[in-house]
Amino acid sequence: MNSPSSSRCPFHRDAPSSATALHPPGMWPPGPPAGLTGWRLLNRMSRDLLGTLAAWKQEFGDVVHLRIWPEHEVVVADPQLARELLVTHHDALVRWERGIRVFSQVHGHSVLVSEGEAWRGKRHALQPSFSPKATQAFVATIAAATGQALAQWPKDDPRWPIESAFTSLTMEVILQMMFSSSIGQDARIAEHAIRVVSAAANAEFYWPASWPDWAPWKRAKRQAVADLNGLIDRHLQTRLSLPREAWPDDLLTRLLQLHGDAPSQWPLQAVRDECMTTFLAGHETTAATLVWWAWCMASNPAAQAAARDEAQRVLQGAAPTADTLPSLPYLSQTLKETLRLYPVAPVLISRRSTRAITLGPWQLPARTLFMLPVQLMHHDPRWFPEPGAFRPERFAPEAPEVPRGAYMPFGTGPRVCLGQHLATAEMTVIAAMVLQRFTLSVAVGTASPRPVLNVTLRPDQPMHLAVAPAGSGVM
């Protein structure tokens, strides 16, 4: 008979204590009854993954075992154990093969889907372009693209399609950083293609295998993938048609320098794959977070006013720069709190152990799958009192320290999000410039959006907000 997890409170785990008593090998954590195959558990997860995991956590505790034939999966919602898994045991883990196969249909063999030495080589080569110092060089580009986009927003609109507007803006920003080029008329096509591909990928996660994309009923996905490939390939070919001395200093040029230095390790296909991942991950995660941030601002006018006052006081009507971003701490807190409430990746890609590992009191065999529900930890009242409330002061310097592992919107360990510094800078620049120009409020008749997971966390319906002039301090 399984016994419930007896994990200690993360606030006191480092205190001296006797060694953790280990359960014998072969004993699994508690979990829901699986029946003959456990596939009914998978069916329930496919309908509402986040709600289902929250219910199981409430019933069985922070570590839950799912027997879904032929797999054993362990859901880890204990902050210390989640961090231990991703940091201490990182060399014993690979990402879930099925999930990687699904992602590779669009991302190719980029750093997002690579494993082992291939991943280490790509990560090492790409790291300098996404370091905090390298990110600073892109702030002016982000601000310029944002200023041009916001100039096209209406001064006053009771139902502005804020989600579509932010998606177009972040596409423009990433294309400027990557290709020194504009999204132009491709914005609507790309936005639709990404929605189709994301929904298809999320559905395929719950099947052991996919029908080939040439199947007649997958026409929409085929067209969406073709549209995305065409977008990336056109920009790549345009760059290659220019003389080398005419190449701008952007992300594509840095990738092509890798190709020039080591063409066997970085063929043009590898460059193209990294471009696709940078475009998709670089705009989608930022757009999703900004949409939720806008909702939090609109539904919390006092926090919005405080963030605007800070931006106006610090920026004095000018665009943010790399030097002024650190002087916007409250605005940064609103973004961090948004990422707590609505983590763009609420469940990390599952990991599989390549050897037996000990996690807390559990001795788990090789090939165990691990699921890490970030959102459950972000919404746990033990670590975040009143977890459903929007309280940016949680991240103030004087606030109580959050247990390590309880907040990780970008993941943690060696596979922490490569673009986290760039995303943070981009979101801060865009948020500051929006507040300089506009007041956001909930549109009349708008209900609170329901978060749904289609690879990233988005509202169940396209979000509209009321926008009005901010008053003073507009550039």
Taking the C-alpha atoms of residue 140 and residue 169, their distance in angstroms, rounded to an integer, is: 15
Taking the C-alpha atoms of residue 232 and residue 422, their distance in angstroms, rounded to an integer, is: 20
Q: In a 10 Å sphere around its CB, with 0-12 CB exposed, 13-18 middle and 19+ buried, how is residue 219 labelled?
A: exposed
- CA-nearest of 350, 351, 366, 317 to 474 is 317
Taking the C-alpha atoms of residue 324 and residue 277, their distance in angstroms, rounded to an integer, is: 29
Contacts made by residues 447-451, CB under 8 angstroms, sequence distance 24+: 448/299, 449/295, 451/50, 451/342, 451/346
Quickly count: other Cβ atoms within 10 Å of residue 103's Cβ: 20
Q: State yes or no: 417 annotated in a binding site.
A: yes
Quickly count: other Cβ atoms within 10 Å of residue 129's Cβ: 22
Question: Count of residues for the chain?
Answer: 475
Q: Tell me the binding residues for heme.
A: 417
